[in-house]
Amino acid sequence: MALQATTTFCFSGPTFRSTPHSLTSKRSISIKSTSPSLTISNSRSNLKGRALSSDGSTQESPYVVCFGEMLIDFVPTTSGLSLADAPAFKKAPGGAPANVAVGIARLGGSSAFIGKVGEDEFGFMLANILKDNNVNNDGMRFDPGARTALAFVTLTSEGEREFMFYRNPSADMLLEESELDFDLIKKAKIFHYGSISLITEPCKSAHIAAAKAAKEAGVILSYDPNLRLPLWPSPDNAREEILSIWDTADIIKISEEEIVFLTKGEDPYDDNVVRKLFHPKLKLLLVTEGPEGCRYYTKDFSGRVHGLKVDVVDTTGAGDAFVAGILSQLANDLSLLQDEERLREALMFANACGALTVKVRGAIPALPTKEAVHEALLKAVV
């Protein structure tokens, strides 16, 4: 994989002490268009990609189309320190929907990404990373007036994260409905998204229009709220907007912490509490519990699948790897939703995807291949 985004950056001066607004200033670059038909024709050319099968042939379906943000995570090279005390940062591509798209492609599935980045070096790099990982990026757009989003991620000694975002506004927030590739959306098997794209306009309207088009085309809707409270105006606003699209999703993945937040403090381990979040049209509700694995709920059955125990380096992207794991299985066979034994096998696979991801710093660089997942599962059985 051509993942050049593993460079270590050392900041020793005041370079990043400016306000977030300073990151939106324009500088001279070689692209001057933001139309939906944009094709880059210089050294960063040929950004449009198709998902490839193992024999190199083009696969048009079943696509999982992921909608939302793609950004650069800066992860400290030393765990357990504050951002101010970190001696250096490792640059890593990220953004939950993009992580899922790459994760699916790396597992051998077909995926596409729809979102917006800046017409800047980071934006070009991210578009190329999608292409290099066999993700269709026909739906990617470039904005000349806003920068690609950045997130500085602090890691505790246990590998848990805290975020500081630079996006006032970043390009992902400025995606418009008129820029959507509706043909790509309508031919998807599954349309996956989060809640960050609901925070501001015009991206919120684009999100709603894309999900509506997918639903009308008979596409399965997959939702991971991916709560990032610092990005929202207030907790109440976050809760309201996250729940505003809850009843349209067919598949929802949620964490224990998000259950506590959405239910205003109720016990996330109480099945009766979780069932309150199960709306009548929902096909599958998944609750991730980190190293403990996950719980699953359908109309007909529910249960728990244990996770793999691994040494944690960085939990960034673990939930996205889990989502990629289960969606890659469901895209090939939706009948898993009616077969508990086979669904449990698919969730074991998804748990292993998440476990392998926490062993490496960053999100996209850490996402596993199908071969690595099978090997991990085999070792766990032995």
Residue-wise pLDDT for 86-131, tens only, equals: 899 888 898 999 999 999 999 999 999 999 999 999 999 999 999 9
The whole-number pLDDT of residue 16 equals 30
Q: What is the pLDDT of residue 3?
A: 37
DSSP-assigned beta bridge partners for residue 296? 286, 303
Backbone angles phi, psi at 190, to 5 degrees: -135, 140
Run of H or E residues at 210: helix 203-216
Tokens 């381990």 locate to: 269
In this predicted structure, what is the pLDDT of residue 318? 93
Q: Which residues pair with 220 in a beta bridge?
A: 190
How much is the CA Rg of the chain, to the nearest whole Å?
20
Tally Cβ neighbours within 10 Å of residue 37: 7
Question: What is the model's pLDDT at position 159?
Answer: 57
**pLDDT in single tens digits along all 382 residues of the chain:** 333 333 333 333 323 322 333 333 333 333 333 333 333 333 333 333 343 333 444 445 479 999 999 999 888 888 788 888 889 988 889 899 999 999 999 999 999 999 999 999 999 999 999 999 999 999 999 999 999 999 998 866 665 667 788 988 999 999 999 999 999 999 999 999 999 999 999 999 999 999 999 999 999 999 999 999 989 999 999 999 999 999 999 999 999 999 999 999 999 999 999 999 999 999 999 999 988 999 999 999 999 999 998 988 878 889 999 999 999 999 999 999 999 999 999 999 999 999 999 998 778 889 999 999 999 998 886 4
Domains present along the chain, CATH in parentheses: 63-69+95-146+180-381 (3.40.1190.20)
Say what the pTM is.
0.83
Number of H helices, E strands in the chain: 10, 14
Q: How many CB atoms lie within 10 A of CB 371?
A: 10
User: Which pair of tokens denotes residue 236?
Assistant: 């109440």
